[in-house]
Amino acid sequence: MEYLKFEEQVNALLKKMSLREKVGQLNQQVGPCNEEDMKRLKDAVRKGEIGSIIMAHSATAGNDPQQSINMKMYEELQRVAVEESPNRIPLIYGRDVIHGHHTVYPIPLAMSASFDSGLIQQCYRCVAKEATADGIHWTFTPMLDLCRDPRWGRIIEGPGEDPLVGSKLSEAVVKGLQGEDISKEDSLVACAKHFIGYGASEGGRDYHRTEISDYSLYNYYLPAFRSAVNAGVATVMSSFNDINGQPVTSGYHYLTEILREQLGFQGFVISDWDAVHQLIKQGVCETEAESVALAIEAGVDMDMADGHYINHLEESVHSGAVPMDVVDQAVKRVLRIKFTAGLFEHPYSNKETLDKKEHLKIARQMAVKSMVLLKNDNQILPLKKSQKIALVGPFVDERRALLGSWTLDGCAEETPTLLETMIDKIGKDRIFLNKDLNGLYDNTVETAAQADVIVLALGESEKVTGEARSLSDITLSKDQIELIKTAKFTGKKVIGVMFCGRPIAMEGIAEYLDAILYAWHSGSATANAVCDILFGDAVPSAKTPITFPRRTGHIPLYYNVTSSGHYVNGYYNENPQYSYNDSLSSPYYPFGYGLSYTTFLYTDLQCKNKTLSIEEIKKGKKYTVAVTIRNTGDYDGEEIVQLYIHDKVASVMRPLRELKAYEKVFLAQNEEKQVVFELGKDELGFYNSQGEYIIEKGEFEIYVGSNCLTENKCSIFII
């Protein structure tokens, strides 16, 4: 997206602005809670000392209760800005609308499991319409932190462990939020975060240090941000973490040389909450004024919440610590986005009347396509609507957790429970409940005796996911594990429905369940979607966007790992017992895994042109890979066909497998289709440690199948 077309207006406005007002445009303040806050903020806005307001009252807004948006207050602050401030520059209001506003969609990690970019984009188009109707201009999403450690609470906000999945999610969210024209009143300014490497927080401990090589930075952590920039993302948020001992907030190499010069980003960068001040705690400066100079010269254009820019930037310019040109460039970037987003034309809320029933319908579709069927022994699912169901577990009557973390404006009271939706689906006479409802006491055997099958509603609260909500152990609670065993020992078939934000360690759990539906925290329509799948009104198609380990102690465990020099690549079943003496190191469920109610047969994998030269590839020639897939089961269904590559010999170690393409294919019963992929320069090269994209000669193994462990392969050669 071109953000330079308003340069004449930006330059004209800049010439009229005092230094104080320029600094004000770089200052984001916390929204008002009361009349005292309003008076203070109105005075500052009137003087041109505030450029943006974040509509939240704490840094961990995803878990802390937040006030609903007081439209009267925000409209009044905007009126002061456009009518009474020195140059009538509108405020830009930001809020964490991460995976839904009033209508809540699945957490982003769950959406990634759908492998359905078109539907994700459609969801975020709905998100933008609802948010702009409440006066929100800007949202701090998509979160693009690739993460290999599900102990980290914020893993729920991102795409999982794969850079291609992250890139596809990135593009879909940005296009959905910003729409075809970002200046339209129902378009929401997107913010790609956290640049960069926050998801590699050591030990899954939030806010901690990271160790990222340049090779990993370019090949794993940057692709999703590159995709966001290419999709026209208007803003980027810098991350708290350090890389090579340099906090990214003060990292000129990362925010300017890589983000702006290499990726071509044209929008503005905002710090994370209080991150400028945290430079002092991180030990790279002593004073607030020094932190300001480090951050703005690194490329942080707007300061979130801590007030350091407005308190110290003027004096830093006057003292010569910060050149005036650095300030001017930051202000121009902010103004460009305000002009491009149409804030000068329509500064107030979008008054569009919304069809929220349609939004809820789309949320239900997204939830269905996000839920992963992990196990289905003897095809126990789908259930017959005539069967008698023992419905047991702590999530039978749960509402709030289904929405997930980072749900500021979703209404838990309006979110149906699993019990309610199951009654709607099959009637209450076929449902048997424990007296205590959650099933954690002694009624399970008695309840199960009355039923044909047991459905256990299990999971984790939204309170153990999100920001500053990491776990050292990602298994279910002991009470729930005991409940699973009790249910199994009744002799009935047991179905586990798991309402979780992160993947959990499955050893000691999955063995006791006959079927597992991983329902995630899938938003407003979670329970309806579960019942659609359980009773066969929908056929599951989702795949795991991240590895499910056997035990927490196996973390980090991810599919795109490089080869060991010994025969211990346990992920790929190469002597998995050698990694640990006390457990198998292989995943319980690998990346890209998921079952359907039907079955698919892959045949006739072909690499149609097996040899090309580097010169031909650079000129645009591609390899053609085709596979035939047939629906051999009893249901119509969708299959996510996945293509992985393995660069066998290279100048540096390359992953054993890398996802390079996928296609979602619908097949009726007995239908057969050929799926064709093309592999060229973009798929077969990699970045070296200097950030240069290179292609090398050699043999590439091509794997095509239903998950990363597929053995269907052929080879191509670059000469």
Question: What pLDDT shows up at residue 438?
Answer: 60
Distance CA 471, CA 473 (A): 5
Residue 4, pLDDT score: 75
Average pLDDT over residues 521-543: 98
CA–CA distance, 315 with 313 (Å, rounded to integer): 5
Token pair in block for residue 204:
């899954």
Q: Can 582 be counted among the known catalytic residues? A: no
For residue 352, what pLDDT is reported? Answer: 77
The 8-class DSSP code of residue 545 comes to S
**DSSP letter at 562?**
B
Question: Which of 97-111, 346-360, 456-470 bottoms out in mean pLDDT, i.e. has the lowest?
Answer: 346-360
Please, are residues 219 and 687 in contact by the beta-carbon 8 Å criterion? yes
DSSP sequence for 489-519: TTTSEEEEEEE-SS----TTTGGG-SEEEE-
* Cis preceding-peptide flag for 90 (omega within 30 of 0): no
Q: Name residue 28's beta-bridge partners.
A: 52, 304
- How far is the C-alpha of 49 from the C-alpha of 25, rounded, in Å? 7
Domains of the chain, each with CATH number or no CATH: 7-26+97-340 (3.20.20.300), 363-544 (3.40.50.1700), 598-718 (2.60.40.10)
CA distance 265 to 256: 9
Helix (H), strand (E), coil (C) string for 120-159:
HHHHHHHHHHHHHHCCCCEECCCECCCCCCCCCHHHHHCC
pLDDT digits (tens, 9 = 90+) for 608-657: 899 999 999 999 999 999 999 999 999 999 999 999 999 999 999 999 99
Q: Among residues 126, 50, 63, 125, which one has the least CA distance to residue 94?
A: 50
Q: How confident is the model at residue 38 (pLDDT cuts 50, 70, 90)?
A: very high
DSSP string, 324-341: HHHHHHHHHHHHHHHHHT
State how far the Cα of 271 lies from the Cα of 189, in Å rounded to an integer: 16
Q: CB–CB of 429/475 below 8 Å?
A: no
pLDDT at 3 over 90: no
DSSP code of 51? S
The predicted pLDDT at position 441 comes to: 54
| DSSP characters over 240-269 | S-EETTEEGGG-HIIIIIIIIIIT---SEE
In the predicted model, is pLDDT for residue 435 greater than 90? no
The whole-number pLDDT of residue 196 equals: 97
List, in sequence order, every beta strand (DSSP E) within 393-492. Answer: 431-433, 453-459
Instruction: Report whether pLDDT(440) > 80.
Output: no
- Classify residue 83 by its DSSP letter: H
Q: What is the dihedral of CA 159, 161, 167, 170, to 10 degrees?
A: 20
C-alpha distance from residue 715 to each of 234, 335, 557, 608 (Å): 41, 52, 27, 10
pLDDT at residue 294, rounded to an integer: 98
Whether this prediction's pTM lies above 0.85 is answered by yes
288 has a pLDDT exceeding 80: yes
Burial 275-299 (b: 16+ CB within 10 A, else e): bbbbbeebebbeebbbbbbbbbbbb
Supply the pLDDT for residue 577.
Answer: 86
Which of helix, strand or coil describes residue 488?
A: helix
Residue 194 per-residue DSSP state = E
Tokens found for residue 247: 């906090």
The angle, 0 to 180 degrees and rounded to 10, between the axes of the packed helices 117-133 and 163-178 is 40
The answer to whether residue 437 scores a pLDDT higher than 90 is no
Preceding omega of 194 cis (within 30 degrees of 0) = yes
Percentages of the chain per state (helix, strand, coil), in multiples of 5: 35, 20, 45
Which amino acid appears at position 474 of this protein?
I
> Tokens representing 707?
């998950």
As a whole number, mean pLDDT of residues 352-366 equals 93
Residue 245 burial class via C-beta count within 10 angstroms: exposed 0-12, middle 13-18, buried 19 and up: exposed
As given in the structure block, the two tokens for residue 54 are: 């974040």
What would the two tokens of residue 227 be? 């995709």
What is the average pLDDT across 602-606? 97
Asked if residue 106 lies in contact with residue 68, where contact means CB atoms within 8 angstroms, the answer is no
Rounded Cα distance, 94 and 61, in Å: 12
Q: Mean pLDDT throughout 266-279?
A: 97
Mean pLDDT of 303-318: 97
Which pLDDT does position 442 carry in this prediction? 62
Residue 173: both structure tokens together: 């969210």
Q: Provide mean pLDDT across the span 15-31.
A: 98
Backbone angles phi, psi at 215, to 5 degrees: -60, -45
48 DSSP 8-state letter: T
pLDDT above 90 (res 108):
yes
Q: Tally the residues of the chain.
A: 719
d(CA 11, CA 5): 11
143 near 101, Cβ under 8 Å?
A: no
Secondary structure of residue 548 in the 3-state scheme: strand
Which candidate in 96, 116, 272, 301 is catalytic? Answer: 272
Under the banding of pLDDT at 50, 70 and 90, the label for residue 59 is confident
The per-residue pLDDT of the chain, averaged, comes to: 96
Strand ranges for 421-466 from DSSP E: 431-433, 453-459
User: 590-599 in b/e burial notation, b at 16+ Cβ within 10 A?
Assistant: bbbbbbbbbb
Positive or negative torsion for Cα 419, 422, 426, 427? positive
- Which residues have a Cβ under 8 Å from the Cβ of 140 and sit 6 or more positions away? 94, 95, 96, 98, 191, 193, 237
* Residue 549, phi-psi category: left (phi > 0), alpha (psi -120 to 50), beta (remainder): beta
Among 646, 614, 641, which residue's Cα sits nearest to residue 704? 641
- In 334-468, the DSSP E strands lie at 372-376, 389-392, 431-433, 453-459
Confidence bin at 1 (pLDDT 50/70/90): low
Mean pLDDT in residue range 205-211: 93
Q: What is the sign, positive or negative, of the torsion defined by CA atoms of 701, 704, 705, 708?
A: positive
Contact residues for 652 (Cβ-Cβ < 8 A; gap 6+): 215, 686, 688
Where residue 434 falls among pLDDT bands split at 50, 70, 90?
confident
- For 187-198, the pLDDT digits (tens) are 999 999 999 999
Q: Is 408 helix (H, G, I), strand (E, B) or coil?
A: coil
Residue 558 has pLDDT above 80, yes or no: yes
Interatomic CA distance for residues 47 and 88, integer angstroms: 10
Q: Give pLDDT, residue 439.
A: 57
Q: How big is the chain by its Cα radius of gyration, in Å?
A: 26
Which amino acid, 327? V
First vs last Cα of the chain: how many Å apart? 37
DSSP-based three-state secondary structure for 108: helix
Q: Which residue's structure tokens are 């966001």?
A: 228
Alpha carbon of 376 to those of 87, 368, 514: distances in Å? 64, 17, 6
Q: What is the DSSP letter of 197?
A: T
With a cut of 70, say whether residue 475 has pLDDT above it.
yes
In the predicted structure, residue 344 carries a pLDDT above the cut 80:
yes
